[in-house]
Amino acid sequence: MLNDLSSPLALLRTRRSGKPRDMVAPGPSPDQLRSILEAAIRVPDHGKLAPWRFIIVGADQRDRLAALIVAAYRAERPRAGRLEIETMKQFARQAPALVVALSAPDAGSKIPHWEQQLSTGAACMNLLAAATATGFVAGWLTGWAAYSDTVRDAFGGPGDRIAGFLFIGS
């Protein structure tokens, strides 16, 4: 059985990511998403630095994100074909809810960046598990946009990295 919610251990043993392109409404309400994010940040965090940022991309912001991704992709790949551009455009429009996860390490900390990045990854995994425990399907994608400096700069600074695009739906 997939996504068995009968106990915490059953959930962890059976949880599987869903494909964001297959996710439909409903997504989490604002209160449910807040609860999911509260659970997400309860991870090992050496130094209590909270070296992550979660940015909710609302439905009203998806077209702007799609345009940003397409513009960045065209700038880096001017010979991109129509199908590639359409794929980039649709990336931001998948699933009812989208959270961009940033690894934002504290450069001045004695805690190694690697440990801070691991904490970010753990927070992303907790987000997926919390979304599943709330009754939703969730998926974590990176893809080209996660490695684009132009896309990253829309969400954070040069020291930050996009850890992933976390999609939530039904």
Evaluate whether residue 119 is within a structural domain: yes
Evaluate whether residue 80 is within a structural domain: no
List the structure tokens of 48: 């209590």
Q: Tell me, what's the pLDDT at 8?
A: 86
pLDDT tens for 96-134 read 999 999 999 999 999 999 999 999 999 999 999 999 999
The answer to whether the beta carbons of residues 32 and 110 sit under 8 Å apart is no
Q: How remote is the C-alpha of 67 from its chain's centroid?
A: 18
pTM above 0.85, yes or no: yes
The answer to whether the beta carbons of residues 120 and 100 sit under 8 Å apart is no
Domains of the chain: total: 1
Evaluate whether residue 13 is within a structural domain: no
Q: Tell me, what's the pLDDT at 70?
A: 98
Average pLDDT for residues 137-155, to the nearest whole number?
A: 97
Give me the sheet containing 97-103, strands edge to edge.
Answer: 52-57, 97-103, 161-169, 137-141
Evaluate whether residue 33 is within a structural domain: yes
Q: Tell me, what's the pLDDT at 123?
A: 99
Q: Tell me, what's the pLDDT at 1?
A: 61
Q: Tell me, what's the pLDDT at 4?
A: 82
Q: Which CATH number covers residue 140? A: 3.40.109.10
Q: Is the pLDDT of residue 61 over 70?
A: yes
Give the residue numbers spanning the domain of 56.
22-62+94-169
Evaluate whether residue 14 is within a structural domain: no
| Average pLDDT score, the chain | 96
Average pLDDT for residues 18-46, to the nearest whole number?
A: 98
Evaluate whether residue 71 is within a structural domain: no
Evaluate whether residue 106 is within a structural domain: yes
Evaluate whether residue 2 is within a structural domain: no
